[in-house]
Chain A
């Protein structure tokens, strides 16, 4: 069988679906191909015990692009929020927890010193101002340096102008901290170790960096852009699980006339005369297409789907050198009773919970990662989505989802030898904050970076398809020569988290890529 489309999108994760839908809405004949049995990618839910739907990978909507929500009419396609404007509770071993309002607004819980309160209010306002400066560039195609094109130079000038418009003092501070490390940033101004660590957590989440690693302020500002762009709620819990987001997107794709095919793994992109002309599936089927968009990670996209023989040597080498060592694991638990984190009231139990007692604790956990060892007490981001959304667990049962930071991709001795002990130690770590949790575990699922690579196909199991750091951001994401969505292979585009602006469930990369495809074809 052979068929022909205007555009084929590889991967039905959120970015692939967004790109496909935009193209379909523009009248293109679009096919989205998914290797797994259902769409979702890293935004998927799965049943780990009868009636228990866990968010397999990502567990929160974070900085979901409001333009995508509007353009794709996702709410009409069933996207509902079980909980919005989630606060963060930074857990303390002695129950003196810290509650941080969403978007760094408001501080409560444990007795915070007055000096910290005022320093915090100055600092969070300043960080938000910096984030606003960056936010405008998320939805733009990164400029090419030195290309001489007016569009590119305009984007650069705008960025320069935005930074200047911060005013003298802010601009100086921005240029000082932008490549600095988050530990210095918070330790210079704040005293409370729990507060310091809670901010540092957002700077390193998903990355191969410790709070003391230079360059960690930039990802923190990036994460704050959603709040700053005036989103009603940057962190939200979709009704029916995270998979509901991609379900709604799949609905939008269908409505726009696009097709989705699951269980269709792409073996390679067909390249003829430096031009992508379609894809070949694993079973040998060829699908012809005018454009091919890849939402899988750029390393695999270039080295496996295109193949180094079609690429310039330096280009292939750059693809091979994308920094994407996974450092984040996922623990999903099915519980027969609600977990009770001591010292939190009923509403607080349903917020986003952090285990990160201090910067030094995080740094010690990061030390282990560096040498392929397992951290003793890794930092965690915990959500119990079933508290706000009982539909995802049986009566009385609950689902706990924890993102576990600083877990190596390749562990010394191999995962088989240590997996079970590690899972037990993670549950014990949770038990220390939520006594009784251990005995209520019905089923547990631990996904290491190696598992994530195997299941999702993302090289290194990296959540963001490439480290979010200054050397891989903007016109350097994923690397020079492939940072404008288009690639040296005519008709082949990147549309996933490996492209600007990167990871988290934003959908912006998919939107930007679709716009680029349409412009490239000469229509807007």
Chain B
């Protein structure tokens, strides 16, 4: 039963929208979450598209979700279980492979098999990257300061940031400046000589990003994928049991336990603005729900350019929103399998049979994949991040059957050829990926029961992410920290009082992290002078 007036309405039931709603509900606010689709989840979603198989069709692995959020929202109690997985391999056309084991000594031996120097360098590399992770982690659950402001809180946050930086000492301050500006290729060149080792590690620098590994700024993107943890194990990744949708399901249960409501099948037509402030939402079905506080989990372009009237917003602000870079560059294949595909290049009992697989063995492979994207088509030899979650989680496929998820970098949101995605192009794209995997797995094609191919265009249609960008905006410096989403509006507030952003378009950006949702809730509660339920990290 919905009421006609709420304290707060959250647009979108993705992980950030729900995180935000949970914190608000825990502060005693009456909260309504409106979701366009008939199911919850946004891009942390799992659905049965083939009877018996659970498709986790967007985000597919879990690491970034902040442990503070898991604890605060009691997500474990509400059913969230993250199963860590380890390792991975890059399969090479020569028949060789590079296996990244979770076991330290096995990994070292494998590195040494490719280059003795790289085995030594890996120790330095892990220490250096971990140091960068430690530096950035406390900034995630904080509001970015406005460097142009003289307000005490902004100065305080600037000081916090400055002091953390200064405390690194001269050497590491310089290393940090370099890390934030280097390309992943140049960064890895400082440590490694073997091309396959570099290509294996570089993948994390380009996932979801419309840049190649030679583009400056991609070292940071790697960090963005390393700064998470599973059960306290830093940098680890895991599967959410039951698929990524289990995260948003647990959040929904947590929300409902605090008295919040979720309304599916309720797309927002527009945000209601009255006398210059947010007053509620008008749904596509014509229903109006009123609240003095509206928090949008949609990306910044969709929020301001589609769900609002231009007259309600300053022109300069709209210009900045228009030039926000939200470039779709990733696709996804979800494949129901009759059995387990074999990868004979790796021993059948190797631990990395359970890890992720890649088939791009040189930096040039990765960069050429990006060149194709620049030219307006999908990569002819894409970077694929392939996993079979059913190896760990028996709930996602019938007994003896398997579920494969393959993330693909790069595919453009619109094809230069003018062809629509919704037709033969999508099939050809899917075939490119399936052929690539089949090159290394002889029985793969025969096992395919059903394959779902998702281009950036499909992601936009279904999840509502502009251009299908999985991070709700590029993770380049011009769109990070106080620049995200636009300078002057990086503190979750917008030019319209009562309207907030809580999606990945806001600091600290994309990934199933929940931090933007939590940070936005903190700011809402401050403005409402309500009890504070969101702690700041590092305090």
A binds B: yes
A positions within 8 Å CB-CB of B: 144-147, 164, 168, 171-173, 175-177, 179-181, 184, 188, 209, 212-215, 317, 321, 323, 363, 367, 370-371, 469-471, 475-476, 479-480
Q: Taking the nearest CB of chain A, how far is it from the CB of B41, in angstroms?
A: 32
Q: Is the CB of B170 within 8 A of A180?
A: no
Docked Cα-Cα span, A357 to B190, in Å, equals 36
Stretch of B7-15, B249-257, B476-484, B502-510 on the interface side: B476-484
Determine which of B173, B323, B483 lies in contact with A175 in the assembled complex, contact meaning CB atoms within 8 Å: B483
* Interface magnitude class on chain B: 35 or more
Q: Is the CB of B214 within 8 A of A212?
A: no
Q: Is the CB of A214 within 8 A of B211?
A: yes
Determine which of A168, A173, A175, A480 lies in contact with B170 in the assembled complex, contact meaning CB atoms within 8 Å: A480
Docked Cα-Cα span, A168 to B478, in Å, equals 16
Determine which of A176, A209, A367, A476 lies in contact with B478 in the assembled complex, contact meaning CB atoms within 8 Å: A176
Which residue of chain B has its CB nearest to the CB of A167? B148
Assuming A212-B374, A471-B186, A479-B174, what are 10 further A-B pairs, CB within 8 angstroms? A145-B170, A173-B487, A175-B483, A176-B483, A179-B476, A209-B216, A214-B215, A370-B214, A370-B367, A470-B216
The 4 A-B pairs at the shortest CB distance, nearest first, are namely A172-B487, A480-B174, A470-B181, A180-B478
Docked Cα-Cα span, A469 to B174, in Å, equals 14
* Interface status of B154 (Cβ within 8 A of chain A): no
- Known interface pairs A176-B478, A213-B216, A214-B216. Does A168 touch B148 (Cβ–Cβ under 8 Å)? yes
Chain B at the A interface: mostly helix, strand, loop or mixed? helix
Determine which of A175, A179, A469 lies in contact with B482 in the assembled complex, contact meaning CB atoms within 8 Å: A175
Can you list, as one digit per residue, whether each of B162-177 has a CB less than 8 Å from chain A (1) or not (0)? 0000101111011101
- Known interface pairs A168-B148, A214-B211, A476-B178. Does A180 touch B169 (Cβ–Cβ under 8 Å)? no
Determine which of B371, B476, B488 lies in contact with A172 in the assembled complex, contact meaning CB atoms within 8 Å: B488
Which residues from chain A contact B477 at a C-beta distance below 8 Å? Answer: 179-180, 214
Docked Cα-Cα span, A471 to B477, in Å, equals 14
Q: Which of A146, A147, A180, A479 has the most CB of B within 10 A?
A: A146
Q: Is the CB of B487 within 8 A of A176?
A: yes
Which residues from chain B contact A181 at a C-beta distance below 8 Å? Answer: 476
Q: Is the CB of B478 within 8 A of A177?
A: yes
Which residues of B229-286 are within 8 A (CB) of A?
none
Which residue of chain B has its CB nearest to the CB of A474? B177
Q: Is the CB of A215 within 8 A of B166?
A: no
Which residues from chain B contact A147 at a C-beta distance below 8 Å? Answer: 170
Which residues from chain A contact B527 at a C-beta distance below 8 Å? Answer: none
Which residues from chain B contact A177 at a C-beta distance below 8 Å? Answer: 478
- Known interface pairs A176-B483, A370-B367. Does A144 touch B177 (Cβ–Cβ under 8 Å)? no
* Interface status of B189 (Cβ within 8 A of chain A): yes
Q: Taking the nearest CB of chain A, how far is it from the CB of B413, in angstroms?
A: 16
Q: Is the CB of B190 within 8 A of A179?
A: no
Which residues from chain A contact B371 at a C-beta distance below 8 Å? Answer: 367
Docked Cα-Cα span, A362 to B293, in Å, equals 48
Q: Is the CB of B487 within 8 A of A146?
A: no
Q: Is the CB of A184 within 8 A of B325?
A: yes
Q: Taking the nearest CB of chain B, how far is it from the CB of A239, in angstroms?
A: 40
* Interface status of B389 (Cβ within 8 A of chain A): no
Q: Is the CB of B174 within 8 A of A171?
A: no
Q: Is the CB of A146 within 8 A of B169?
A: yes
Q: Taking the nearest CB of chain A, how far is it from the CB of B286, in angstroms?
A: 37
Which residues from chain B contact A215 at a C-beta distance below 8 Å? Answer: 181, 216-217
Determine which of A175, A317, A323 lies in contact with B147 in the assembled complex, contact meaning CB atoms within 8 Å: A175
Q: Is the CB of A179 within 8 A of B147?
A: no
Q: Which of A176, A317, A321 has the most CB of B within 10 A?
A: A176
Q: Taking the nearest CB of chain B, how far is it from the CB of A338, in angstroms?
A: 39
Docked Cα-Cα span, A451 to B471, in Å, equals 45
Determine which of A164, A172, A175, A469 lies in contact with B181 in the assembled complex, contact meaning CB atoms within 8 Å: A469
Which residue of chain A has its CB nearest to the CB of B166? A146
Which residues of B467-507 are within 8 A (CB) of A?
476-478, 482-483, 487-488
Q: Is the CB of A145 within 8 A of B173?
A: yes
Which residues from chain A contact B217 at a C-beta distance below 8 Å? Answer: 179, 214-215
Which residues from chain A contact B483 at a C-beta distance below 8 Å? Answer: 175-176
Determine which of A176, A209, A212, A476 lies in contact with B177 in the assembled complex, contact meaning CB atoms within 8 Å: A476
Q: Is the CB of B487 within 8 A of A175?
A: yes
Determine which of B147, B174, B214, B215 lies in contact with A476 in the assembled complex, contact meaning CB atoms within 8 Å: B174
Q: Taking the nearest CB of chain B, how far is it from the CB of A51, in angstroms?
A: 44
Can you list, as one digit per residue, whether each of B147-159 has a CB less than 8 Å from chain A (1) or not (0)? 1100000000000
